[in-house]
């Protein structure tokens, strides 16, 4: 099959790309700067600067992962708008591509797997969170809600839509773990605030497998939590990571320091949700890395 990925140059997209190519599929990548990302992707990769540029070779599958990194900068009003607009615009491009294909009488994709995040639920305290849980209305929720809503019109054209609410993606060489490792390796790691906030996480290979599962399973649509079945609190995450590195983790970072340093963005570190992949498990998806110990053992 032919798969078009927005954000194919990213941490998740690059792995998904390789997996698809290994399985013999053709992959198309939409990137804002095809020349700059070329060295991150295999040389035969077809990278173009818009989804519309692929109109002559319509994809069978769309995977939508593009977006301004959530923790790159403080959440000023301008940065918040960029976080939302980058995702909504990338999603709308895919909807527009389908509208154009339909207008031309060309075949439409069968399915779109579109990104979202654990932030959809907002801060949920100790409550177990499934796809049914009522979200807490805060910025992260509003961002994900608009991202998800932008994908919805694709369903009216008969394209199956599966949304993945992604947890913290773990693998070496990128993502959050890459940023956490240096202080932890120096024995300077520690919990954030009380450490009681949940951190839903997922090994990158399991996320890629879940995306492929959602592409394959024709009966699956709607929202799916993309995180391992055993989420941990920040304190447990800290302890587990430190023990895998044989280092102590005795320097907690007080909440007020994070709030002063990061403003509203500190909510990413100080709040969370005990998010469970209820619908993926119900559909028969099995995780290769169900526990943090297993994932970190493989990664480190
Ligand atoms: N990694 C995680 O822990 C995690 C957790 C929850 C949700 N997610 C979500 O899952 C998606 C994939 O994650 P990832 O870690 O692979 O993301 P990533 O590496 O940060 O970025 C994915 C791609 O998005 C594109 N992008 C970056 N800034 C953009 C902007 N301002 N406007 C339009 N496109 C932009 C870039 O592609 P080009 O430079 O080629 O255009 C980039 O390669 C993201 O949307 C992310 O928010 C990730």
From the CA of 129, how far away is ligand 1's center (Å)?
24
- Average pLDDT estimate for 174-190: 94
- Average pLDDT estimate for 196-220: 98
Residue 272 in this model has a pLDDT that exceeds 90: yes
d(CA 195, CA 218): 40
From the CA of 248, how far away is ligand 1's center (Å)?
32
Domain that holds residue 30: 2-299
Tell me which residue of 43, 94, 47, 39 sits closest to 67, measured CA to CA.
Answer: 94
Torsion of CA 31, 48, 45, 8, to 10 degrees: 20
Q: What is the DSSP string of 241-275?
A: HHHHTT------B-HHHHHHHHGGGGHHHH---EE
pLDDT band at 42, cuts 50/70/90?
confident
35-44, 117-126, 240-249, 267-276: which has the minimum mean pLDDT? 35-44
Residue 178 in this model has a pLDDT that exceeds 90: yes
Which protein residue's CA is at the shortest distance from atom 32 of ligand 1?
Answer: 86
Q: Which ligand 1 atom lies nearest to the CA of residue 7?
A: 23
Q: What is the CATH number of the domain that holds 245?
A: 3.40.50.720
- Average pLDDT estimate for 160-169: 99
From the CA of 13, how far away is ligand 1's center (Å)?
8
Q: What is the mean pLDDT of the chain?
A: 97
109: left (phi over 0), alpha (psi -120 to 50) or beta: beta
d(CA 125, CA 33): 40
**Predicted local confidence at residue 243, as pLDDT:** 97
- Average pLDDT estimate for 229-249: 97
From the CA of 104, how far away is ligand 1's center (Å)?
31
Q: Which ligand 1 atom lies nearest to the CA of residue 32?
A: 41
Q: What is the C-alpha end-to-end distance of the chain, expressed in Å?
A: 34
**Predicted local confidence at residue 44, as pLDDT:** 80
Q: Which ligand 1 atom lies nearest to the CA of residue 90?
A: 33
**Radius of gyration, alpha carbons of the chain:** 19
From the CA of 166, how far away is ligand 1's center (Å)?
12
Residue 262 in this model has a pLDDT that exceeds 90: yes
pLDDT tens digits along 88-147? 999 999 999 999 999 999 999 999 999 999 999 999 999 999 999 999 999 999 999 999
Number of independent structural domains in the chain: 1
Contacts of 274 (CB under 8 A, 6+ apart): 124, 126, 127, 128, 129, 198, 200, 231
Residue 212 in this model has a pLDDT that exceeds 90: yes
Tell me which residue of 14, 6, 4 sits closest to 205, measured CA to CA.
Answer: 14
Residues having CB within 6 Å of any atom of ligand 1: 7, 9-13, 31-33, 37, 65-70, 82, 86, 90, 115, 117, 166, 168-169, 175-176
Would you state the structure tokens that stand for residue 263, as one six-digit string? 């403003």
pLDDT band at 43, cuts 50/70/90?
confident
pLDDT tens digits along 21-38? 999 999 999 999 999 999
Q: Are 193 and 253 in contact (CB under 8 A)?
A: yes
**Predicted local confidence at residue 173, as pLDDT:** 93
């Amino acid at each position: 099959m032919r798969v078009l990925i927005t954000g194919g140059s990213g941490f998740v997209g690059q792995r998904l790309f390789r997996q698809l190519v290994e399985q013999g599929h053709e992959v198309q990548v939409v990137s804002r700067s095809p020349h700059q990302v070329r060295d991150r992707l295999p040389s035969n990769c077809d990278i173009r600067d818009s989804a519309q540029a692929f109109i002559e070779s319509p994809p069978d599958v769309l995977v939508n992962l593009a977006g301004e990194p959530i923790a790159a900068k403080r959440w000023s009003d301008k940065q918040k708008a960029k976080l939302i607009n980058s995702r909504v615009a990338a999603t709308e491009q895919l909807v527009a591509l389908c509208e154009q294909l339909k207008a031309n009488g060309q075949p439409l994709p069968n399915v779109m797997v579109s990104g979202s995040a654990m932030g959809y639920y907002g801060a949920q305290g100790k409550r177990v969170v499934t796809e049914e849980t009522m979200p807490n209305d805060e910025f992260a929720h509003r961002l994900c809600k608009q991202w998800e809503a932008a994908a919805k019109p694709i369903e009216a054209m008969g394209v199956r839509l599966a949304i993945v609410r992604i947890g913290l993606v773990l693998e070496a060489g990128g993502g959050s773990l890459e940023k956490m490792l240096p202080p932890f390796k120096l024995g300077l790691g520690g919990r954030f605030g009380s450490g009681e906030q949940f951190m839903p996480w997922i090994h990158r290979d399991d996320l890629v497998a879940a995306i492929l599962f959602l592409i394959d399973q024709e009966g699956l649509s709607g929202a799916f939590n993309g995180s391992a079945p055993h989420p941990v609190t920040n304190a447990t995450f800290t302890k587990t990571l430190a023990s895998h590195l044989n280092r102590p983790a005795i320097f907690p970072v007080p909440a007020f320091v994070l709030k002063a340093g990061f403003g509203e963005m500190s909510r990413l570190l100080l709040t969370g949700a005990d998010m469970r992949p209820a619908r993926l498990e119900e559909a028969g998806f099995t995780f290769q890395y169900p526990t943090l110990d297993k994932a970190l053992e493989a990664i480190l």
